[in-house]
């Protein structure tokens, strides 16, 4: 942050054409551009980049919330990572996270989002607005509220779902915690896919569909041979983004708190439980590092895709 | 009117009906229970009482927590908009060395460093810097997380605005800050509004960060109070919870309606979460 504005440069600025640094439109000059960018970069460095680097270090220590290791954490090398690999709870959480991402993002949101966009593709008017409005509503409502709505809906004794299905006493959240959070996350997250596919379908040339129809292609053949090849890039973008979001989603904690007996403890909840409830910050940081690395891989794929499109 | 066409119509409306049910049923409780004098988990026709709202008003932490949510989200949005606008403007107009690499790195960082990945170091950082229970501290942390995406979106926006106005303003002797305030800001106002709304919606719904960093119940936002209301004491107070949940939800719904009316609801990659 060494870039201060020197007085002569401020004066120069009043006289057009005498900017010593560049001939850009606003007469900013590189130094002053640096000053404009600096506050944002400072905050990003302090609260985004530094924590990410710090978590890499913390994962290599035996840092704890309480006790001797709280005051003076010791460097323990890769012990935490070896502990994680040997820990069945970690593998349980990893497997549950795979189910969560595959179930609610890859299958749930993509299929449902595309289906809605496809059904409403040629429509205008109130029906389209109603369906889209409800799907978007599910997306914008605060997660603390919607997770509770699902707790109420799925409640064993008084819940609306059991009343509708006529099966009072069926314990959705206790017997099928993963299914519950998968359906919940599908419900909550479909809006993004729906909007993305809605926009993508608008770009499929109607003439291609028309000629496929004239050639006698069935609905499914039109989808397979015309629509899907055309929106392949959108599907891939969609898959990568929502997988990333779902992978990092903490809201299963609000619905089931990871329970019962860790049967819905996805990695996001696992980190919270081991690090901030049990106080094993070093171990939690090691798991966070693994999450960071997986995020990095997915994000690099995503950015490559974006670049290749431009 | 071939049979195939009729079947197709029936299939279409059946599917739409199922979809509508799936998306509506969970919401029904939120709009009926607050007006029911003794709500259960089941959706019932309300008897239209206002008593539950009375209970929310009298609750010591309910309304203050909505105020806290407002402070956090508006505070964050202001910081994000001002800082992102300055940064995006400079990055759009001046060819700084390594600019493209910087933008690429920013976008990458913002998508991989999430609350889940960074909760341990952020918690420790807040402890070390004495920012636990500090709303300003939380605002700074949230701002740091939202800035990269905001800069990226705004830079795209600014790249597409003409530079000729700025050049003529400069000929008349306006300073860079004056140019930003009087020429650039009016031009990119829709972009700034988008970023502001995006930031407000993000913070308004955020649960994890305030839950981690604010332990003082008087400083907690509505997200955390909602969670407390249904875990506290084993038995959830459904009257309180449903009514408070509704009050907490209304502002984002209104904001969405306003935005979609005024700008047409478009979304930009990376919104929410």
Q: Does pLDDT of B272 surpass 50? A: no
Q: Does pLDDT of A19 surpass 70? A: no
Say what the pLDDT of residue B259 is: 82
A174 CA to centre of own chain: 26
User: Which token pair is A165?
Assistant: 């299905």
pLDDT tier at A16, thresholds 50, 70, 90: very low
Closest chain B residue to the Cα of A10, Cα to Cα: B175
What is the model's pTM?
A: 0.89
Say what the pLDDT of residue A69 is: 75
Q: What is the SS3 assignment for A102?
A: helix
pLDDT, averaged across chain A? 86
Say what the pLDDT of residue B1 is: 66
Q: Does pLDDT of A23 surpass 60? A: no
Residue range B85-100, pLDDT digits in tens: 999 999 988 887 888 8
Say what the pLDDT of residue A208 is: 87
Which residues lie closer than 8 Å to B116 by C-beta, 6 or more apart? Answer: A248, A249, A250, A267, A268, A271, A288, A291, B208
How far apart are the C-alpha atoms of A110 and B113, rounded to whole Å? 24
Enumerate the residues of chain B whose CB falls inside 8 A of the CB of residue A272.
119
Partnered with residue A75 across adjacent β-strands are A61
Contact B106/A299 with Cβ under 8 angstroms? no
Q: Which of A240, A241, A213 is nearest to A227 (CA)?
A: A213
Q: Which residues of A224-252 are buried (b: 16+ CB within 10 A; e: fewer)?
A: eebbeebbeebbebbbbbbbbbbbbbbbb
The more confident residue out of B116 and A12 is B116
B53 and chain A in contact, CB less than 8 A: no
Residue range B172-230, pLDDT digits in tens: 888 888 888 888 888 898 889 989 999 999 999 999 999 999 999 999 999 999 999 88
B144 contacts A26? CB cut-off 8 A? no
Residue range B225-247, pLDDT digits in tens: 999 988 876 677 888 899 999 99
Q: Which of A45, A105, A38 is nearest to B273 (CA)?
A: A105
Tell which A residues from 211 to 250 touch B, by Cβ distance under 8 Å.
241, 244-245, 248-250
Q: Which of B219, B237, B251, B250 is nearest to B55 (CA)?
A: B237
Closest chain A residue to the Cα of B125, Cα to Cα: A51
A137 contacts B253? CB cut-off 8 A? yes
How far apart are the C-alpha atoms of A304 and A192, rounded to whole Å? 21
How far apart are the C-alpha atoms of A18 and A272, rounded to whole Å? 57
C-alpha dist (Å) from residue A37 to B31, B74, B191, B199, B235 = 45, 22, 18, 19, 50
Q: Does pLDDT of A8 surpass 70? A: no
How far apart are the C-alpha atoms of A36 and B188, rounded to whole Å? 17
C-alpha dist (Å) from residue A266 to A182, B23, B123 = 11, 25, 20
Tell me the average pLDDT across A286-295.
95
Contact B142/B134 with Cβ under 8 angstroms? no
- What is the sign of the dihedral through the CA atoms of A275, A276, A279 and A285? positive
Say what the pLDDT of residue A219 is: 81
pLDDT tier at B122, thresholds 50, 70, 90: very high
Question: Taking CA B193 as the corner, what is the angle to CA B188 and CA B199, rounded to the nearest 5 degrees?
Answer: 130
| Cβ atoms within 10 Å, residue A7 | 8
How far apart are the C-alpha atoms of A85 and B16, rounded to whole Å? 46
Tell which A residues from 15 to 54 touch B, by Cβ distance under 8 Å.
16, 22, 24-30, 32-34, 36-37, 39-41, 43-44, 46-52, 54
Tell which A residues from 109 to 128 touch B, by Cβ distance under 8 Å.
115-116, 119, 127
Q: Which of A137, A141, A146, A134 is nearest to B17 (CA)?
A: A134
Q: Does pLDDT of A11 surpass 50? A: no
User: Which token pair is A297?
Assistant: 């891989």
How far apart are the C-alpha atoms of A244 and A238, rounded to whole Å? 10
Which residues lie closer than 8 Å to B13 by C-beta, 6 or more apart? Answer: none
Min distance B22 CA to chain A CA atoms (Å): 8
Closest chain A residue to the Cα of B81, Cα to Cα: A40
Q: Does pLDDT of B58 surpass 70? A: yes
Contact A269/A252 with Cβ under 8 angstroms? yes
How far apart are the C-alpha atoms of B38 and B40, rounded to whole Å? 7
Partnered with residue A238 across adjacent β-strands are none
Residue with tokens 């379908």: A201
Kind and range of the H or E run holding A234: helix A232-247
């Amino acid at each position: 942050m060494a870039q201060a504005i020197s007085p002569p440069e401020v004066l120069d600025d009043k006289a057009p054409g005498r900017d010593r640094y560049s001939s850009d439109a606003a007469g900013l000059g590189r130094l002053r551009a640096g000053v404009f960018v600096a506050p944002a970069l400072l905050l990003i460095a302090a609260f985004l980049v530094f924590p990410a680097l710090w978590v890499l270090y913390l994962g290599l220590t035996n840092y704890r919330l309480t006790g001797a290791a709280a005051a003076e954490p010791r460097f323990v090398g890769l012990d935490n990572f070896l502990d994680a690999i040997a820990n069945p709870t970690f593998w349980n959480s990893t497997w549950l996270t795979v189910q969560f991402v595959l179930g609610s993002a890859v299958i749930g949101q993509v299929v449902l989002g595309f289906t809605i966009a496809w059904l409403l593709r040629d429509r205008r008017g109130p029906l389209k607005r109603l369906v889209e409005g409800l799907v978007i509503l599910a997306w914008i409502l605060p997660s603390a509220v919607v997770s509770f709505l699902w707790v109420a809906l799925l409640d064993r004794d008084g819940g609306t779902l059991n009343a509708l299905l006529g099966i009072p006493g069926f314990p959705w959240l206790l017997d099928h915690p993963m299914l519950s959070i998968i359906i919940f996350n599908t419900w909550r997250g479909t809006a993004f896919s729906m909007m993305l596919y809605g926009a993508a379908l608008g770009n499929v040339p109607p003439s291609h569909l028309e000629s496929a129809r004239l050639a006698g292609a069935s609905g499914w053949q039109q989808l397979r041979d015309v629509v899907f090849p055309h929106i392949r890039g959108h599907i891939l973008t969609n898959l990568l983004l929502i997988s990333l979001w779902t992978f990092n989603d903490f809201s299963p904690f609000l619905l089931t708190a990871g329970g019962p007996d860790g049967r819905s403890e996805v990695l996001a909840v696992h980190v919270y439980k081991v690090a901030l409830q049990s106080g094993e910050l070093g171990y939690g940081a090691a798991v966070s590092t693994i999450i960071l690395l997986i995020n990095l891989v997915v994000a690099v794929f995503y950015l490559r895709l974006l670049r290749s499109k431009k | 009117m071939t049979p195939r066409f009729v079947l197709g119509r029936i299939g279409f409306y059946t599917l739409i009906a199922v979809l509508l049910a799936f998306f509506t049923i969970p919401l029904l409780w939120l709009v009926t229970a607050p007006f029911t004098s003794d709500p259960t988990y089941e959706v019932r026709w309300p008897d239209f009482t206002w008593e539950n709202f009375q209970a929310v008003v009298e609750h010591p932490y309910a309304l203050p927590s909505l105020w806290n949510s407002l402070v956090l989200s508006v505070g964050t949005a202001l910081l994000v908009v001002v800082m992102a606008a300055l940064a995006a403007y400079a990055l759009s107009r001046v060819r700084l060395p390594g600019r493209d690499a910087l933008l690429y790195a920013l976008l990458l960082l913002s998508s991989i460093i999430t609350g889940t990945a960074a909760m341990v170091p952020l918690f420790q950082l807040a402890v070390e810097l004495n920012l636990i229970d500090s709303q300003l501290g939380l605002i700074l942390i949230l701002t740091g997380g939202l800035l990269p995406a905001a800069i990226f979106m705004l830079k795209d926006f600014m790249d597409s605005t003409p530079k000729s106005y700025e050049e003529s303003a400069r000929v008349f002797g306006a300073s860079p800050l004056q140019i930003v305030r009087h020429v650039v800001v009016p031009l990119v106002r829709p972009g700034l509004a988008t970023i502001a709304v995006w930031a407000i919606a993000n913070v308004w719904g955020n649960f994890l960060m305030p839950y981690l960093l604010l332990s003082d119940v008087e400083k907690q936002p509505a997200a955390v109070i909602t969670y407390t209301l249904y875990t506290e004491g084993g038995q959830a107070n459904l009257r309180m919870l449903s009514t408070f949940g509704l009050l907490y939800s209304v502002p984002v719904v209104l904001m969405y309606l306003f935005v979609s009316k005024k700008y047409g609801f478009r979304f930009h990659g990376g919104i929410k979460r």
